[in-house]
Amino acid sequence: MKIKNIIFDFDGVLCESVDIKTEAFYEMYLSYGDDIASKVRLHHLQNGGMSRFDKFNFYEQELLKKEITQSKIDKLSEVFSNLVLTKVIEAPLVEGVNNFLKSYAENYNCFIVSATPMEEMKKICKEKSIDSYFNAIFGSPKSKIDWVKEILLTNKLNKSETLFIGDAMSDYTAAKENNIHFLLRRTQNNKNIFTDKNMLSINDFVNLERYLKRLSDESRI
């Protein structure tokens, strides 16, 4: 069946911004020593798609053995946002993204589902002048699984016509839990994560339209 609906992750899929956030997490915890900061960095890379709120909760409680409150998590998230926002806005889009959106986005129902806080995600897309290509833009605190479910129900989308393009295990899980197709954007950061998964993948968006045509009559992606 023809792919008519595409759900995109943002960091590492539409934008080359994963490393910006990786270094921000590392920088925030470097005052606790390189060992802690390195564990934070590794956890972040292994858990792409987990919200920053959940990550800070984990780092504070499990790595630092601190009691954590919501106000403390909110404060850490604010510091993190201040560190990364401008850099993400200035970060380049993945090769081929701009051309794909300009040339083909109108042929699909396009959505963004990110672990970035929703209002921040909307601001980034607006500043990058790509917000108009998407039917809607979603982010945390709601999970990707729940957002995908809501997108399908609210828009009455056919699951067999819907594709999630992601780079993290949370993206893959959101797709599989909702019984939609998944296409992996391979990067250096996820090369060791999907080794046991047999799936189609892309390195960039240069030939994405060709891949979409290839996927059209596939029952499993």
Q: Average pLDDT in the 149-175 region?
A: 96
- For residue 221, being part of any structural domain is answered with no
Domain count, the chain: 2
Among 39, 68, 90, residue at a domain's last position: 90
Comparing 147-161, 173-187, 195-209, which segment has the lowest mean pLDDT?
195-209
Is residue 155 within 8 Å of 138, Cβ to Cβ?
no
Q: What's the rounded Cα separation, in Å, for the pair 79 and 176?
A: 33
| 45 in Cβ contact with 189 (< 8 Å) | yes
Q: Cis peptide before 141, with omega less than 30 degrees from 0?
A: yes
User: Are residues 61 and 153 both part of a single domain?
Assistant: no
Last residue of a domain, one of 90, 109, 126: 90
∠ at Cα 142 (188, 220), nearest 5°? 55
Tell me, yes or no, whether 119 lies in a domain: yes
Does 98 reside within a domain?
yes
Cβ-based neighbour number of residue 51 at 10 Å:
21
Model confidence at 109: pLDDT above 80:
yes
Which of 90, 108, 131 is at the close of a domain?
Answer: 90
Asked if the model's pLDDT at residue 220 lies above 50, the reply is no
Pick from 154, 162, 114: nearest CA to 15: 114
Prediction pTM value: 0.86
Mean pLDDT throughout 101-108? 94
Share of the chain above pLDDT 90, in %: 78
3-state SS class at 163: strand
CATH of residue 206's domain is 3.40.50.1000
Sorting pLDDT into bands at 50, 70 and 90, what band is 218? low
CA distance 158 to 154: 11
Backbone CA torsion sign across 161, 162, 165, 169: negative
Residue 199: what pLDDT?
Answer: 79
CB atoms within 10 A of CB 123: 18
User: Domain limits at 74?
Assistant: 18-90
Say if CB 83 and CB 27 are below 8 A apart.
yes
* CA proximity to 128, closest of 101, 108, 103: 101
pLDDT band for position 151 (50/70/90)?
very high
